[in-house]
C-alpha cells in the first residue's frame, strides 16, 4: 500500500477505536473521550458503581473481562466522570441515558479525586504511592504529604508496609475533602501485572489490597472507591503458588465485588456499525440496499441474531455496510475467540492492515463477505491462530486451496466460507447450511452457481455434506465411510431396542428441579425422568440417583396407547404414589428417528475398531453424537411441553389419578414445586448451600466438623466462641442453622454477652424446624431400646421431612445438646458416657454404628437419682448421674478390673459395668441384680429398698476400691521382708535411706535401677509404684492375679542379690546390725581384747582365726 493510500485511510475519529488507553497519561487529555460509546454494559456497570458510592459497603470492585473489551476505556470514562461531574463524560452520559445521568449528578454532588494508574510489573504499594504523590502535588496544603511520599519512594521499598501506605491514603483523602472533593477513587488498570509481580516476588502487597477493600467498605460519608481492572481472577495470576497461598489469594479476592465486563455479541455488532460510520467514501445506497436484502434473507431463514429484532437487524445491516450481514454476525465471535475482542475488531474495521475493511473498500467498493474476513485472519493473525485448537479450520482450507490451485474463484470463496462457518458453528453462532452459504455469497437462499460449486467440491472430496444436520464441512480425509456405517447401524439396531431403552441408555440424565420449592427450603430437590413404551409396574418406578420424585414420560405410539397410559395413571397403586407424576405426550415428533440415529452412532463406536486409528472419523462420530444428543434433549423437552404442536406435544399431566389443567411450561414447572411442597410438608428451611446438601465438599465437611466441635466444647459462649469479625464456612453454618433457627440462644434473652445454651426451636418459626425436632423427640424418647442413628437419619431424610445428609449430624447434635441430661449415646452397642468429636466424626460417615436413647424417670428411680446426684454433685438426671458413676469406677486402677480376687457380688458389679448397654437398665436393673437386690421401678418405692440399694452399692464400691491399695501394701511388705526390713512405714523409710547411701557406691549393674528408684525424690506412692513395677516388670496398678502370685519369688531373688551387695559394702539391715554388735561383744570378751598389751604374734593369730571363721560362714 502506498503512503498516499495510508494517509487516506487515517480517519481521525477512528483513532478512538484503535488505540489502547493509558490512564495516567490520558486522564488529563481533553480528546480522549471523543467517540466513546455508552453501551448498555457501560450503563449497567456505572449504575452499580454509583450505588456503591451512595450506599456504604461494597466499595472495592474488580472489572474482569478478556483483552480488548473496553475495560480500560471505561475506567478512563469513570475517572473523568467523577473528577468533573458536569464535564464531557457527563455530557456523553446524558445523551445516552438521561435518567442515569441525573442519578450520577445526584450522587456526585461533589467531585471525587481520582488516582488512576496503569500498573507495570512492580510492587502495588509503590505504584499507589506514586499516584498519591502525583495527586498530592496538585492539592493546596498537601505539599508536605507529597514530599513525605517522595522520600518514602526514594528509600528502600522493602521497608514499606501496608499500614504506612494506608496512612498516606487516609491523609490524601483528608486533604482532598478539605479541597472540596467528596472522596477519592483509586483505579488500578492492568492490575494483573501487579499481581504477577506479587506472585513472583512475594512482597505481601496482596494483603494491602485486602486492607484497602476493608477501608473502602468503611469509608462512610466521604467514600474511598477502589476499582481494579483484570483479565482473570486473582488465583489465576498466582497459579504457580503453593495451594495454601492460592487459597489466601482467593480469600483476598472475596473482599472485592467482581463485575464481568464483556459486551454481548449483539452490542458489538452495533458498535461495529457505528465505527464504520467514518468510512470514506461512504457506501452507496445500492450497497446498503444489497446488505438489507441479505439481512432480510437471513431473517427469513431464522439465522438472524436472536436478540435483535428483525427490523432492527435489517436497519443495522444497512448501517454496517459495506460489511455483509453474515460477516457482521461473525465478527464478535471470531474476534473474541482468536484475537483481542473489540480492540482487534476495530483494527479490522478501521486500520490500514492488509485485507482490513478500509483496504477492501478502497479497492472494490462492494460488500465485504465471509471469504474476505477469512483472508484477513489468514494474512494478519495466522501465527497466533496456530496456537489455538480451532486453527485447523483455517489450515484445512489453506491446504485445500494449495492442493487444487486451479479451482474457480467461486469454489475458493465457498471453501473459505465453509471453513469460517465451521469455526462459527463450533461456537454456536452460524451453521454452514446450503441456504446460508448462498446468502453469504449471493444474498439469496438459493443459487444455481453455488449449488454447482458445492457439488464440484464434494466430487473432489474437498468438502463433505453431513446429512444429520444438513451442513457442509471441509473434508480432512478418512478411510471410514461414516454414512455407509451409519446406514448399516440403522438397519441393525433400529428395531432391536425400544425407544425408552435407547433414551435411558444413551440420553444423559437431566433432573427436573422443583425451583421454587428448592429456593424456599434451601434444599435442592428434583424429579428423575423415566421413560416407558408401555405402562410399567408401579413398584418398578423408583428413584435411582437421589431424586425426590419420579416423572414418568410415556412414549405412546398412537392415540390408543395414550389412552392406555391414561387409564393406568388412574389405577390406585399409581394414583396413591404422592411423588409420582405421569406425563403423556400426544405426539413424539422426530424423537424416534433421532433416538435411532444416536443408537446407530453408538453402534458404530462399539463395532468399528478402525476408529481407534482414524482421528478424522472418530471426531466426525463424536460431533454427530454431540449434535444428535442435543437434538434429542430438545425433543425430550418438547415431549413434556403441554403446549400444542409444533412448540410442544400437548402433553397431558396426571397426578393422584386426575388429569391436571397444565397449559404452559411455567405451570408444569410450578407443579413440581407444588407436589414437593405436599410431599415434604415438614421440610426445614435452611438457606445454606454449604451444609444443606446431600454430599458436602471437602471444605464444607471441614467447616461442619469445626462447627460440631465448637458445639461440644463452647456451647456456653456467644457465637460458640467464633471470631465475630471472621466469616469462615463454619460461621455461615452457625448463622443459618443454629442462630437463625434459634437453636443456640442466650440463657437470659436480655444478656447476649452472658452465657448461651442450646434450646428447642420455637413453633411456627420460618425455618420450620419444629416438626423435625418432634420427630427426633419421638424417635429418641419413645423407643424402648436404643434407636439406631442410621435409621433415625433415614427417617429424617424421608418424607415429610427431607433433611439432607449434610444437616443430619448437626441437628442431632443440637438436639442432644438441648437435652444433655436425658439422652444416652451408644457406639456399636456400648454406652459412651462422654461422646466427643472423634465419635461424631465417625457418626457423620457411619451413622449405622451409633444409637441414641432418651430417658425420663419417676418414682423410686427418681429418689435414687436425686440422692446420687447430690453425692456426685451433678444434675439430678439419668445421663449425668450414670456418667459420674461410670467415671468413678473407670478411675479405678486396671488391676481392680482384672483381678478375680474380689467377692462374688463385686465381681458381678464389675461385669455389669463392663456390659453396660443402657444407663437406665444399668442403674435400675443390672446393678441391683449384681448386688442381689430387686430392680428399682418407676413406681413409688419403699425407703428401706432405696437404703438397702445404697448400702450394698457403697459396700461393694468400697471393697472394689480398696483392692489395689491393699495389694500394693501387701507387695511392699513382701519385698521388705525379703530384704530383712520390718514390714512397716519405718522399715520402708530405712530401706530408702540405705539405698540413698548406696547409690554412689560400686554396685552390680542389675541393682542400679533398684537403688535409683528407691533413692529418687518424689511422691512416696509414686516411688513405691516404680519400685514394685521394677521388681514385677509391670506397674502394680495393672497387675493380674498371676503377677501378684509371682511377685514374692521375684522379690526374694532381687533381695538376695541386694543383701549380698549391701553386706559387701558394709551395709546391712537393722536387725543384722544389732546382731553383729552382740557377736562382736562376745568375741571381744573371748579374745580378751581389753588387755593392755597384745603381742604382734597374738594379733596375727587372732586375724587368722577370724578369717577362717569367715570362710566357714561363706561355705
| Residue appearing with cell numbers 549380698 | 1060
Cβ pair 295, 313 in contact under 8 A: yes
Query: Which residues on neighbouring strands pair with residue 117, listed in sequence order?
Result: 188
How far apart are alpha carbons 1017 and 603 in whole angstroms? Answer: 86
CA distances (Å), 1103 to each of 49, 301, 330, 1095, 1110, in order? 115, 138, 128, 13, 11
Cα 105 to Cα 183, 184, 219, 490, 1042: the distances in Å are: 15, 17, 20, 68, 96
Please list the helix, strand and coil fractions of the chain in percent, rounded to the nearest 5, in that order.
60, 10, 30
Q: Where in the chain is the domain with CATH 3.40.50.300?
A: 20-260
Instruction: Report the alpha-carbon distance of residue 970 to residue 327 in Å, rounded.
Output: 105
**Interior CA angle at 99 toward 93 and 103, to 5°?**
85
**Residue 463 bridge partners (DSSP):** 474
Task: Measure Cα distances from 444 to 430, 824, 1103 in Å.
Answer: 16, 82, 144
Beta bridge partners of 466: 471
Q: How many Å apart are CA 481 and CA 478, to the nearest integer? A: 8
Tell me which residue has cell 427417617: 795
The answer to whether 966 touches 972, Cβ cutoff 8 Å, is no
Strands 526-532 and 549-554: parallel
Q: Which of the 8 DSSP states describes residue 537?
A: P
930 vs 932: CA distance, rounded Å: 5
**How do beta strands 756-758 and 823-827 pair?**
unpaired
Phi, psi of 26 (to 5 degrees): -85, -15
CB 680 within 8 A of CB 521: yes
Cβ–Cβ contacts within 10 Å for residue 676, how many? 26
828 by Cβ neighbours in 10 Å (0-12 / 13-18 / 19+) ranks as exposed
**pLDDT recorded at residue 41:** 84
Q: Which of 348, 341, 339 is nearest to 70 (CA)?
A: 341
Q: What is the pLDDT of residue 6?
A: 31
Spell out where 93-198 has E strands.
113-118, 184-189
The alpha carbon dihedral of 877, 880, 885, 886 has a sign of: positive
Closest CA to 769 of 794, 749, 740, 791: 740
Pairing of strands 463-466, 471-474: antiparallel
The helices-and-strands tally (H runs, E runs) of the chain is: 53, 19
For residue 583, report the phi and psi dihedrals to the nearest 5 degrees. Answer: -120, 125
CATH of domain 20-260: 3.40.50.300
**How is residue 283 written as a grid cell?**
457506501
Beta partners for residue 224, in sequence order: 184
Instruction: Give per-10-residue mean pLDDT for the chain (1115 aa).
Output: 32 44 78 80 90 84 78 89 90 90 91 92 90 91 91 82 90 93 93 85 83 89 92 74 76 85 82 84 93 94 88 93 93 76 71 87 91 86 54 67 84 90 73 93 94 91 81 73 78 74 79 93 93 88 84 90 94 93 85 82 86 76 79 83 87 95 93 96 94 91 95 94 90 94 92 92 93 94 88 95 96 94 86 90 95 82 86 83 88 92 93 84 89 88 88 93 93 91 89 84 84 87 91 92 92 88 70 72 76 73 78 69
Query: For residue 61, what are the β-bridge partners?
Result: 227, 257
What is the C-alpha to C-alpha distance for residues 176 and 142, in angstroms, rounded to an integer?
9
| pTM value > 0.85 | no
Identify any residues that bridge with 473 across adjacent strands, giving them in sequence order. Answer: 464
Q: Which residue do the cell numbers 445526584 mark?
A: 106
CA distance 1106 to 325: 135
Taking CA 800 as the corner, what is the angle to CA 794 and CA 806, rounded to the nearest 5 degrees? 45
Q: Supply 186's cell numbers.
A: 483509586
CA–CA separation, 907 and 909 (whole Å): 5
343: number of Cβ within 10 Å: 20
Cell of 400: 485445500
Residue with cell 496456537: 387
Under a CB-based contact definition with an 8 Å cutoff, are residues 97 and 43 in contact? yes
How far apart (Å, rounded) are the C-alpha atoms in residues 154 and 727? Answer: 39
CB-count burial class (<10 Å; 0-12, 13-18, 19+) for 1005: exposed
> What cell was used for 531?
421413560
Quote the CA–CA distance of 981 and 1058 in Å, as a whole number.
12
Q: Distance of CA 371 to CAs 60, 323, 376, 404, Å?
A: 46, 12, 9, 17
What are the Cα distances from residue 1009, in Å, to 230, 903, 1044, 1067?
73, 37, 21, 18
User: DSSP of 864-917, one letter per residue?
Assistant: HHHHHHHHHTS-SSHHHHHHHHHHHHHTS-HHHHH---S-HHHHHHHHHHHT--
Q: Which residues pair with 584 in a beta bridge?
A: 652
Amino acid at each position: 500500500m502506498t503512503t498516499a493510500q495510508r494517509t487516506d485511510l487515517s480517519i481521525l475519529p477512528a483513532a478512538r477505536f484503535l488505540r489502547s488507553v493509558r490512564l495516567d497519561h490520558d486522564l488529563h487529555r481533553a480528546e480522549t473521550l471523543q467517540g466513546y460509546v455508552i453501551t448498555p454494559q457501560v450503563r449497567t456497570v456505572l449504575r452499580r458503581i454509583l450505588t456503591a458510592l451512595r450506599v456504604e459497603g461494597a466499595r472495592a470492585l474488580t472489572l474482569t473481562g478478556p483483552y480488548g473489551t473496553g475495560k480500560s476505556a471505561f475506567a478512563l470514562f469513570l475517572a473523568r466522570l467523577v473528577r468533573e461531574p458536569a464535564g464531557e463524560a457527563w455530557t456523553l452520559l446524558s445523551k445516552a441515558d438521561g435518567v442515569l445521568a441525573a442519578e450520577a449528578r445526584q450522587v456526585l454532588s461533589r467531585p471525587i479525586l481520582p488516582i488512576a494508574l496503569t500498573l507495570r510489573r512492580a510492587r502495588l504499594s509503590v505504584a499507589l504511592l506514586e499516584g498519591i504523590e502525583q495527586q498530592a502535588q496538585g492539592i493546596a496544603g498537601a505539599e508536605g504529604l507529597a514530599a513525605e511520599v517522595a522520600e518514602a519512594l526514594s528509600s528502600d521499598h522493602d521497608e514499606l508496609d501496608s499500614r504506612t501506605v494506608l496512612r498516606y491514603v487516609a491523609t490524601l483523602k483528608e486533604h482532598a475533602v478539605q479541597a472540596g472533593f467528596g472522596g477519592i477513587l483509586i483505579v488500578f488498570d492492568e492490575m494483573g501485572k501487579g499481581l504477577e509481580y506479587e506472585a513472583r516476588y512475594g512482597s505481601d502487597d496482596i494483603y494491602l489490597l485486602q486492607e484497602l477493600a476493608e477501608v473502602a467498605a468503611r469509608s462512610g460519608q466521604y467514600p474511598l472507591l477502589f476499582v481494579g481492572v483484570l483479565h482473570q481472577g486473582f488465583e489465576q495470576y498466582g497459579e504457580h503458588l503453593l495451594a495454601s497461598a492460592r487459597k489466601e489469594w482467593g480469600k483476598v479476592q472475596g473482599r472485592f465485588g467482581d463485575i464481568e465486563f464483556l459486551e454481548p455479541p449483539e452490542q458489538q455488532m452495533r458498535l461495529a456499525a457505528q465505527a464504520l460510520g467514518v468510512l470514506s467514501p461512504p457506501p452507496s445506497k445500492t450497497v446498503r440496499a444489497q446488505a438489507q436484502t441479505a439481512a432480510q434473507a437471513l431473517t427469513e431463514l431464522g439465522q438472524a441474531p436472536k436478540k435483535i429484532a428483525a427490523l432492527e437487524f435489517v436497519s443495522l445491516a444497512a448501517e454496517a455496510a459495506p460489511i455483509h450481514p453474515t460477516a457482521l454476525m461473525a465478527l464478535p465471535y471470531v474476534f473474541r475467540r482468536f484475537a483481542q475482542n473489540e480492540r482487534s475488531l476495530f483494527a479490522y474495521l478501521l486500520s490500514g492492515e492488509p485485507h482490513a475493511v478500509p483496504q477492501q473498500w478502497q479497492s472494490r467498493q462492494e460488500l465485504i463477505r465471509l471469504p474476505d474476513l477469512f483472508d484477513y485472519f489468514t494474512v494478519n493473525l495466522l501465527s497466533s491462530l496456530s496456537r489455538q485448537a480451532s486453527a485447523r479450520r483455517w489450515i484445512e482450507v489453506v491446504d485445500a486451496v494449495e492442493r487444487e490451485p486451479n479451482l474457480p474463484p467461486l469454489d475458493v470463496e465457498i471453501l473459505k466460507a465453509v471453513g469460517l462457518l465451521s469455526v462459527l458453528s463450533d461456537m454456536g453462532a452460524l451453521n454452514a447450511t446450503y441456504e446460508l452459504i448462498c446468502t453469504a455469497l449471493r444474498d439469496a437462499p438459493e443459487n444455481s452457481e453455488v449449488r454447482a460449486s458445492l457439488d464440484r467440491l464434494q466430487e473432489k472430496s474437498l468438502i463433505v455434506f453431513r446429512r444429520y444436520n444438513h451442513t457442509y464441512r471441509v473434508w480432512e480425509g478418512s478411510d471410514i465411510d461414516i454414512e455407509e456405517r451409519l446406514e448399516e447401524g440403522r438397519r441393525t439396531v433400529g428395531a432391536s431396542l425400544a425407544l425408552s431403552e435407547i433414551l435411558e441408555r444413551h440420553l444423559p440424565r437431566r433432573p427436573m428441579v422443583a425451583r421454587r420449592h428448592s429456593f424456599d427450603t434451601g434444599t435442592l430437590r428434583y424429579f428423575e425422568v423415566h421413560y416407558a413404551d408401555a405402562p410399567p409396574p408401579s413398584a418398578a418406578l423408583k428413584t435411582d440417583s437421589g431424586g425426590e420424585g419420579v416423572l414418568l414420560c410415556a412414549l405412546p405410539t398412537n392415540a390408543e396407547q395414550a389412552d392406555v397410559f391414561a387409564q393406568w395413571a388412574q389405577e390406585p397403586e399409581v394414583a396413591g404414589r404422592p411423588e409420582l407424576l405421569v406425563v403423556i405426550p400426544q405426539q413424539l415428533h422426530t424423537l424416534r428417528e433421532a433416538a435411532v440415529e444416536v443408537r446407530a452412532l453408538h453402534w458404530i463406536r462399539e463395532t468399528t475398531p478402525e476408529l481407534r486409528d482414524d482421528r478424522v472419523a472418530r471426531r466426525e462420530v463424536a460431533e454427530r453424537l454431540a449434535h444428535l444428543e442435543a437434538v434429542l434433549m430438545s425433543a425430550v423437552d418438547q415431549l413434556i411441553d403441554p403446549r400444542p404442536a409444533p412448540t410442544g406435544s400437548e402433553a397431558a399431566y396426571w397426578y393422584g389419578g386426575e388429569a391436571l389443567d397444565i397449559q404452559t411450561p411455567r405451570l408444569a414447572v410450578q407443579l413440581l414445586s407444588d407436589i414437593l411442597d405436599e410431599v415434604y410438608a415438614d421440610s426445614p428451611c435452611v438457606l445454606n448451600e454449604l451444609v444443606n446438601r446431600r454430599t458436602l465438599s471437602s471444605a464444607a465437611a471441614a467447616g461442619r466438623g469445626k462447627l460440631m466441635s465448637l458445639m461440644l466444647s463452647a456451647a456456653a459462649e456467644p457465637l460458640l466462641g467464633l471470631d465475630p469479625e471472621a466469616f469462615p464456612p463454619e460461621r455461615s453454618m452457625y448463622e443459618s442453622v443454629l442462630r437463625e433457627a434459634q437453636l443456640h440462644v442466650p440463657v437470659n434473652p436480655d444478656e447476649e454477652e452472658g452465657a448461651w445454651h442450646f434450646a428447642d426451636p420455637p413453633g411456627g418459626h420460618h425455618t420450620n424446624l419444629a416438626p423435625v425436632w418432634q420427630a427426633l423427640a419421638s424417635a429418641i424418647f419413645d423407643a424402648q431400646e436404643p434407636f439406631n442413628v442410621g435409621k433415625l437419619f433415614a427417617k429424617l431424610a424421608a418424607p415429610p421431612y427431607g433433611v439432607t445428609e449434610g444437616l443430619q449430624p448437626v441437628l442431632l447434635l443440637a438436639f442432644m445438646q438441648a437435652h444433655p441430661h436425658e439422652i444416652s449415646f451408644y457406639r456399636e452397642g456400648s454406652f459412651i458416657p462422654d461422646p466427643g468429636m472423634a465419635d461424631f466424626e465417625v457418626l457423620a460417615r457411619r451413622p449405622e454404628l451409633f444409637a441414641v436413647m432418651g430417658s425420663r424417670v419417676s418414682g423410686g428411680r427418681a429418689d435414687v437419682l436425686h440422692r446420687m446426684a447430690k453425692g456426685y454433685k451433678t444434675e439430678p438426671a439419668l445421663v449425668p448421674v450414670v456418667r459420674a458413676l461410670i467415671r468413678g469406677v473407670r478411675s479405678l486402677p486396671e488391676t481392680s478390673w482384672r483381678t478375680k480376687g474380689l467377692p462374688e457380688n463385686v465381681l458381678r458389679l464389675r461385669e455389669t459395668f463392663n456390659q453396660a448397654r443402657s444407663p437406665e437398665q444399668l442403674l435400675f436393673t443390672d446393678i441391683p441384680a449384681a448386688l442381689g437386690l430387686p430392680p428399682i421401678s418407676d413406681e413409688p418405692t419403699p425407703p428401706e429398698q432405696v437404703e438397702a440399694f445404697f448400702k450394698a452399692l457403697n459396700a461393694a464400691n468400697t471393697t472394689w476400691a480398696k483392692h489395689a491399695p491393699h495389694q500394693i501394701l501387701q507387695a511392699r511388705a513382701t519385698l521388705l521382708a525379703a530384704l530383712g526390713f520390718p514390714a512397716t512405714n519405718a522399715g520402708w523409710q530405712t530401706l530408702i535411706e540405705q539405698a540413698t547411701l548406696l547409690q554412689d557406691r560400686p554396685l552390680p549393674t542389675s541393682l542400679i535401677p533398684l537403688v535409683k528408684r528407691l533413692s529418687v525424690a518424689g511422691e512416696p506412692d509414686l516411688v513405691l509404684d516404680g519400685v514394685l513395677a521394677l521388681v514385677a516388670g509391670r506397674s502394680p496398678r495393672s497387675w493380674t492375679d498371676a503377677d501378684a502370685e509371682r511377685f514374692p519369688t521375684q522379690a526374694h531373688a532381687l533381695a538376695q542379690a541386694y543383701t549380698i551387695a549391701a553386706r559387701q559394702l558394709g551395709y546391712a539391715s537393722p536387725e543384722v546390725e544389732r546382731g553383729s554388735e552382740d557377736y562382736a561383744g562376745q568375741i571381744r570378751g573371748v579374745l580378751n581384747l581389753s588387755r593392755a598389751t597384745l603381742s604382734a604374734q597374738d594379733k596375727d593369730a587372732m586375724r587368722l582365726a577370724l578369717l577362717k571363721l569367715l570362710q566357714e560362714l561363706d561355705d
